[in-house]
């Protein structure tokens, strides 16, 4: 690896740690930097910040890091697989599917019978929608336009189901479901932190290991085959791993927009398109981005908490817009 | 010299439509072979079935006597390189990164690029005269440079056989000549067997030793440029009036187009032009 790549990774990692620690200090009660670091370094000590830091803020920030990394990494994967720099993890109908799953969970009353039902339903909804789109596309010799259009249509279909259910649902449930749809880390279950973190981190490592295959796939199915790649199997592996990661993220955070689109896009300008560098770099940048956004969401109009999806949405689209206007020739690639 | 590629009674197509009907031909080692024919005559389909991308329905494709369906993809890619007609890349790889992708069939899982791989890639870049573009990104290349990058990538596969689908489309005449000169050079210097689909009959005439003329998925004529590129064959297959003269420099057949005049009787024009 070249020196500038190593510097990039070191500075991203340091930024992530610094951002995470700084974000730990913010919240309803402000905790000084010294106290925060002290509490972090002495987990057993008895001080008043112990429970706020370790039980409330720390898990929340870990979720932000994991979800941010997961969404940004899968954004790279879907952009590569679809050969389209404007794809995101939700392109294949994931968001609609997950929303439908969650709404079903709420409407059937399962939500009240166990806290794990909601993430499970979200995961299944997301996963099933990707499988459906994949199946539809494979009937059409796997054309990319079928994949993208299939995703769009399925998203519409599922969203319409959701709206249908909303319109006949009791209002109290509608509010919490809408919050979830906007992307919200406040309801993430601490019980899930270990499993979600391991799934996402393991997934990102696997994706990075197969990154050469993804580089070749961006040349298109035809050329990849001519270079000796079994494109069907490779594609399947990527889709399955990426779908599991997206499903895992969605299950704890709802639909957080723009991270998976914007971060890989920005990072590609810095690292270039080679996925061995792009995937881990995007994962780190995504983690930083979502950690900051989520802290803003917690604190900006405290004591009211915003869904983080609102912040990423506003922030992301403004950055994208300035991109669009500033660049002399619009190089989305 | 033996046949590097042999195609016997090939039948293939898409879903239900049969496109290639009973095609047989062979390519000798070191040969420069051209495939011509009107739009829809099955040139690209033929190429895709030779490369195994499209499963053929009947017949056989033999590479050095081995049925290509029995050759693993990676091994095939170490022997045969293919330049598809359209190759769009939406990601800005550098020239060197792209050329190095030609080593993919040689790399085991998780094996990284070695000094030897890099040397081979560098050698391909100097052969195709793009060494000065190493760090240039895809979007910053002209059409001619892009074509040379793709050829360099193919060369990095160290193939014995190179298949190209209309490599000169979208290029101006300078770059058309430049590209075909390069392919000819590789053919001569590296004894690389070339099978190229060409649109331009005169390019086919100048560069190919043997030409296969397709019509509706069948071979209409096969032979030297002189044998295939006669006005009769061209008018029959392309349904266009032409005159074939001799290129004063290369002495190869040169096809001259005659623009149609409204109300002109085809038969009469025919006699007028060819006596």
Q: Do B75 and A228 touch (CB under 8 A)?
A: yes
Q: Do A228 and B94 touch (CB under 8 A)?
A: no
From A228, which residue of chain B is nearest by alpha-carbon distance? Answer: B74
From A206, which residue of chain B is nearest by alpha-carbon distance? Answer: B110
Say if A205 is an interface residue toward chain B (CB within 8 Å): no
Of A84, A222, A229, the CB nearest to B84: A222
Q: Do B104 and A212 touch (CB under 8 A)?
A: yes
Question: What pLDDT is recorded for position B263?
Answer: 46
Q: Do B101 and A219 touch (CB under 8 A)?
A: yes
Say if A110 is an interface residue toward chain B (CB within 8 Å): no
Question: Measuring CA to CA, how many Å separate A76 from each of A2, A207, A259?
Answer: 21, 10, 11
Say if A60 is an interface residue toward chain B (CB within 8 Å): no
Q: Which residues of chain B neighbour A273 with C-beta distances below 8 Å?
A: 91-93
Q: Which residues of chain A neighbour B78 with C-beta distances below 8 Å?
A: 228
With 80 as the cut, is the pLDDT of residue B61 above it?
Answer: yes
Say if A270 is an interface residue toward chain B (CB within 8 Å): no
- DSSP-derived pairing of the beta strands B80-83 and B161-165: parallel
- Give A250→chain B minimum CA distance, Å: 28
In sequence order, the 6+-apart residues with CB closer than 8 A to the CB of B189 are: none
DSSP tally for chain A: helices H, then strands E: 16, 0
With 70 as the cut, is the pLDDT of residue B176 above it?
Answer: yes
Of B76, B101, B105, the CB nearest to A215: B101
- Give B236→chain A minimum CA distance, Å: 33
> How do the pLDDT tens digits run along chain A, 333 residues long?
578 889 999 999 999 999 998 888 887 777 777 777 877 787 777 777 777 777 778 888 999 999 999 999 999 999 998 888 778 888 778 888 888 888 888 777 776 677 778 788 888 888 888 888 888 888 877 777 888 888 889 988 998 988 888 888 777 777 777 777 788 787 777 778 888 999 999 999 999 998 999 999 999 889 999 999 998 899 889 988 988 898 888 888 888 888 999 899 889 988 989 999 999 999 999 999 999 999 998 888 877 888 888 899 888 888 888 877 876 554 544
Question: What pLDDT is recorded for position A319?
Answer: 84
Question: What pLDDT is recorded for position B262?
Answer: 53
Question: Helices in chain B by DSSP H: which ranges?
Answer: 43-50, 73-79, 95-100, 115-127, 143-156, 173-189, 201-207, 225-228, 231-238, 266-274
Alpha-carbon gap, residue A249 to A122, rounded angstroms? 9
Of B91, B105, B137, the CB nearest to A228: B105
* Interface TM-score (ipTM) > 0.90: no
- Name the residue among B143, B175, B140, B148 with its Cα closest to residue B164: B148
Mutual angle of helices A275-299 and A3-25, in 10-degree steps: 20
Say if A84 is an interface residue toward chain B (CB within 8 Å): yes
Q: Do B101 and A333 touch (CB under 8 A)?
A: no
Question: What pLDDT is recorded for position B6?
Answer: 92
Q: Which residues of chain A neighbour B141 with C-beta distances below 8 Å?
A: none
Q: List Cβ<8 Å contacts ≥24 apart for A135-138.
A: none
Say if A211 is an interface residue toward chain B (CB within 8 Å): no
Q: Count of A–B CB contacts within 8 Å? A: 73
From B92, which residue of chain A is nearest by alpha-carbon distance? Answer: A273
pLDDT in tens, B221-234: 999 999 999 999 99
Mutual angle of helices A58-81 and A259-271, in 10-degree steps: 70
Token pair, residue A316, equals: 């992301």
A interface test, pick of B72, B104, B149 with most A CB neighbours within 10 Å: B104
Alpha-carbon gap, residue A266 to B34, rounded angstroms? 45
Put simply, the chain A residues between 273 and 292 with a CB less than 8 A from any chain B CB are 273-274
Q: Which residues of chain B neighbour A222 with C-beta distances below 8 Å?
A: 53, 84, 87
- Give A232→chain B minimum CA distance, Å: 12
- Give B91→chain A minimum CA distance, Å: 6
Alpha-carbon gap, residue A271 to A234, rounded angstroms? 24
Q: Which residues of chain B neighbour A331 with C-beta distances below 8 Å?
A: 139
From B110, which residue of chain A is nearest by alpha-carbon distance? Answer: A209
In sequence order, the 6+-apart residues with CB closer than 8 A to the CB of B9 are: B22, B23, B24, B58, B59, B60
Token pair, residue B15, equals: 């879903």
Contacting A with CB below 8 Å, chain B residues are 51-53, 73-78, 81-82, 84, 87-94, 97, 101-102, 104-105, 107, 110, 137, 139, 157
Say if A333 is an interface residue toward chain B (CB within 8 Å): yes
Alpha-carbon A100 to chain mean position: 18
From B111, which residue of chain A is nearest by alpha-carbon distance? Answer: A212
Domains of chain B: 3-229 (3.40.50.300), 239-275 (no CATH)
Sheet with B3-14, strands from edge to edge, namely B17-28, B3-14, B58-63, B66-67
Q: Which residues of chain A neighbour B117 with C-beta distances below 8 Å?
A: none
DSSP element (H, E) containing B24? strand B17-28
Cβ-count burial of B135 within 10 angstroms (0-12 exposed, 13-18 middle, 19+ buried)? exposed
- For the segment B51-55, the average pLDDT, to the nearest whole number, is 86
pLDDT in tens, B235-274: 999 988 899 999 999 999 999 988 875 544 454 444 445 4
Say if A115 is an interface residue toward chain B (CB within 8 Å): no
């Amino acid at each position: 690896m070249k020196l500038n790549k190593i510097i990039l990774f070191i500075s991203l990692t340091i930024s992530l740690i610094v951002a995470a620690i700084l974000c730990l200090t913010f919240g309803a009660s402000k905790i000084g930097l010294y106290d925060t670091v002290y509490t972090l370094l002495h987990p057993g000590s008895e001080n008043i910040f112990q429970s706020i830091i370790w039980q409330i803020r720390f898990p929340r920030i870990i979720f932000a890091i994991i979800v941010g990394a997961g969404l940004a990494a899968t954004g790279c994967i879907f952009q590569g697989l679809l050969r389209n720099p404007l794809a995101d993890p939700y392109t294949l109908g994931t968001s609609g599917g997950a929303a439908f799953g969650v709404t079903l969970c709420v409407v059937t009353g399962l939500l009240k019978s166990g806290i794990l039902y909601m993430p499970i339903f979200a995961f299944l909804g997301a996963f099933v929608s990707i499988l459906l789109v994949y199946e539809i596309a494979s009937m059409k010799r796997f054309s990319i336009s079928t994949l993208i259009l299939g995703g769009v249509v399925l998203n519409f279909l599922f969203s319409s189901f959701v709206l249908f259910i909303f319109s006949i649902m009791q209002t109290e449930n509608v509010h919490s479901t809408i919050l979830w749809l906007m992307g919200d880390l406040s309801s993430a279950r601490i019980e899930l932190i270990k499993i979600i973190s391991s799934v996402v981190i393991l997934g990102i490592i696997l994706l990075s290991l197969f990154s050469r295959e993804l580089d070749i796939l961006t040349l298109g199915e035809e050329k990849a085959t001519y270079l000796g790649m079994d494109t069907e199997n490779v594609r399947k592996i990527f889709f399955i791993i990426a779908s599991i990661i997206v499903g895992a993220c969605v299950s704890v955070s709802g639909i957080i927009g723009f991270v998976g689109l914007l971060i890989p896009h920005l990072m590609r300008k810095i690292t270039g398109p080679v996925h061995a560098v792009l995937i881990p770099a995007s994962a780190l940048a995504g983690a930083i981005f979502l950690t900051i956004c989520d802290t803003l969401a917690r604190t900006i109009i405290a004591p009211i908490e915003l869904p983080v999806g609102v912040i990423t949405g506003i922030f992301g689209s403004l950055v994208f817009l300035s991109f669009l206007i500033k660049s002399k020739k619009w190089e989305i690639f | 010299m033996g046949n590097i590629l042999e195609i016997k009674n090939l039948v293939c197509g898409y879903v239900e439509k049969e496109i290639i009907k009973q095609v047989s031909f062979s390519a000798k080692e070191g040969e420069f072979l051209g495939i011509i024919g009107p739009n829809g005559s099955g040139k690209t389909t033929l190429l895709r079935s030779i490369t195994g991308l499209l499963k053929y329905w009947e017949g056989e494709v033999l590479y050095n006597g081995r049925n290509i369906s029995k050759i693993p993809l990676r091994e095939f890619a170490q022997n045969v390189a293919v330049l598809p007609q359209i190759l769009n890349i939406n990601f800005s790889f550098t020239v060197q990164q792209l050329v190095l992708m030609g080593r993919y069939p040689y790399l085991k899982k998780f094996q990284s690029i070695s000094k030897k791989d890099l040397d081979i890639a560098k050698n391909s870049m100097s052969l195709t005269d793009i060494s000065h573009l190493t760090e240039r990104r895809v979007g910053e290349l002209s059409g001619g440079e892009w074509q040379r990058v793709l050829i360099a990538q193919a060369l990095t596969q160290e193939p014995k056989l190179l298949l190209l689908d209309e490599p000169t489309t979208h290029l101006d005449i300078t770059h058309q000549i430049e590209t075909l000169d390069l392919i000819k050079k590789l053919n001569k210097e590296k004894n690389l067997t070339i099978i190229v689909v060409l649109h331009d009959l005169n390019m086919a005439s100048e560069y190919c030793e043997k030409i296969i003329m397709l019509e509706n998925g069948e071979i209409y004529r096969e032979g030297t440029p002189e044998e295939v590129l006669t006005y009769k064959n061209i008018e029959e297959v392309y349904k266009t009036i032409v005159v074939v003269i001799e290129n004063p420099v290369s002495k190869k057949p040169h096809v001259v187009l005659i623009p149609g005049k409204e109300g002109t009787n085809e038969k009469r024009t025919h006699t007028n032009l060819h006596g």
